[in-house]
Amino acid sequence: MKTFRAVFSVILLLLLAACSSGAETATADLPEPTSTSAPPAPLPEETASEAPTEESLPEPVDGNALIVFTSNRGEDPGLLDLYLLDPETLEITSLNTGMPSILAAWSPDHSTIIFSEPDAWNLYSIAADGTGLARITDFRSNNPDWSPDASKVVFQSDHQNEPENIPDLYIIGSTGEDLIEILDAPDTIDYSPRWAPDGSSILFLSNRTGNMELFTMDPDGTDITQITEGASQVNGAAWSPDSQRIVFVYGNSTDSELYIIDRDGNTNSVVRLTSDQYNDTGPSWSPDGERIVYTSNRDGQLDLWVVNVDGTGSAQLTDDEYVDAYPDWY
């Protein structure tokens, strides 16, 4: 297990990568991104929110709404594969992709899951019943997310003109056609794109202002706007179902916490969700917008937890010796 945890730590570090060349695909030219807007006011170091108290599991959301996540709970503890968790019954089902699988995301109609394969760093999709495995990219690609109509996928990659491990952002058709580079900045890391459910914006992380912060842009790569500015790093984020709020991870490699902020970056809107001196990361909203599922090591290993959007009602969803991470809740 110690060996595998070391391997898993390497995979976590590789999430910034997206990578060198595979088969070349034609790209279409887009307008150059507009200059980044003036940064917002700095994030407060603390917000008026006490550390959440642990409670019993909240009532389920939307009946059988499922959480897809990555775990090594299969026969081979060295293999990260995809699993489905029913938050009502806590029943876990394997998707059996047959390959290393991380960073999964539900399609808007909940029929299909897209994910990254962290050996060759290709993107794949699979039906929610575990059938229909299909490869989408044949070059190093990572951190995929769907457009609201499921016709396109946004992701990070450095396969064209970037230095290795310095990704740009791309859009591709959901079956692997019509690749377009929407953000080309060779000197900055731009990664972890998330398409707003209303289709208006794409959220992403970047160090283009010196620190790793949260930004939004139009889907064509224009109108880049900085959302956060703080002393620590932002290293993960997700949209609320109504596209009006953003949950994000703020901290360092040993202590990261979850916060919520309005999409306009108003620091008066910030709500602190966790305060535990552990790594709380990988957040995803429940479909009703009332709860956040995330990964935490506060119990000694990486497990899935859930918390209400006001920071109350913290509850543990998985509790075992396995690695459970990267949840996405539909």
The CATH number for 293's domain is: 2.120.10.30
Tell me how many domains the chain contains. 1
For position 57, what pLDDT does the model report? 39
Residue type, 297: N
Q: How far apart are CA 304 and CA 293, in angstroms?
A: 7
Between the alpha carbon of residue 278 and those of residues 176, 250, 297, the distances in Å are 38, 12, 6
For position 59, what pLDDT does the model report? 42
For position 40, what pLDDT does the model report? 52
**pLDDT of the chain, 330 residues: tens digit per residue:** 332 233 333 334 333 332 222 222 222 222 222 233 334 545 655 443 343 333 333 344 444 699 999 999 999 999 999 999 999 999 999 999 999 999 999 999 999 999 999 999 999 999 999 999 999 999 999 999 999 999 999 999 998 877 888 999 999 999 999 999 999 988 899 999 999 999 999 999 999 999 999 999 999 999 999 999 999 999 999 999 999 999 999 999 899 999 999 999 999 999 999 999 899 999 999 999 999 999 999 999 999 999 999 999 999 999 999 999 999 999
Paired residues of 126 in beta bridges: 113
Whether this prediction's pTM lies above 0.75 is answered by yes
3-state SS of 204-259 is EEECCCCCCEEEEECCCCCCCEECCCCCCEEEEEEECCCCCEEEEEEECCCCEEEE
DSSP 17-37: ------S----B--PPPPPPP
DSSP 32-55: PPPPPPPP-PPPPSS-S-PPPPB-
How do residues 114-152 score in pLDDT, each as one tens digit? 999 999 999 999 999 999 999 999 999 999 999 999 999
For position 45, what pLDDT does the model report? 53
Q: Taking the alpha carbons of 170, 157, 147, 23 in that order, is the dihedral positive or negative?
A: positive
Q: Taking the alpha carbons of 44, 291, 293, 296 in that order, is the dihedral positive or negative?
A: positive
Which element (helix H / strand E) includes 5?
A: helix 2-13
For position 161, what pLDDT does the model report? 72
Which of 154, 158, 236 minimizes the C-alpha distance to 201? Answer: 154
Round the average pLDDT of the chain to a whole number and report it: 84
Paired residues of 114 in beta bridges: 105, 125
Q: CA 161, 165, 171: angle at the middle one, nearest 5?
A: 60
For position 43, what pLDDT does the model report? 60
> Whose structure tokens read 């990219």?
137
Between the alpha carbon of residue 72 and those of residues 8, 115, 264, 323, the distances in Å are 10, 16, 38, 6
Q: Tell me what percent of the chain is helix, strand and coil, each rounded to the nearest 5.
A: 5, 40, 55
3-state DSSP assignment of residue 117: strand
Q: How far apart are CA 1 and CA 9, in angstroms?
A: 12
Measured from the Cβ of residue 220, the count of other Cβ atoms closer than 10 Å reads 14
For position 54, what pLDDT does the model report? 38
For position 33, what pLDDT does the model report? 29
Joined together, the tokens standing for residue 3 give 């060996």
For position 42, what pLDDT does the model report? 55
Q: How far apart are CA 146 and CA 151, in angstroms?
A: 8
Rg (CA), the chain: 18
Q: In Å, how far from its chain's centre is CA 12?
A: 12
3-state DSSP assignment of residue 269: helix
**Which structural domain, as residue segments, surrounds residue 149?**
2-329
Which of 275, 276, 311, 277 minimizes the C-alpha distance to 292? Answer: 311
For position 256, what pLDDT does the model report? 97
Q: Residues 139, 160: contact at Cβ < 8 Å?
A: no
For position 265, what pLDDT does the model report? 96
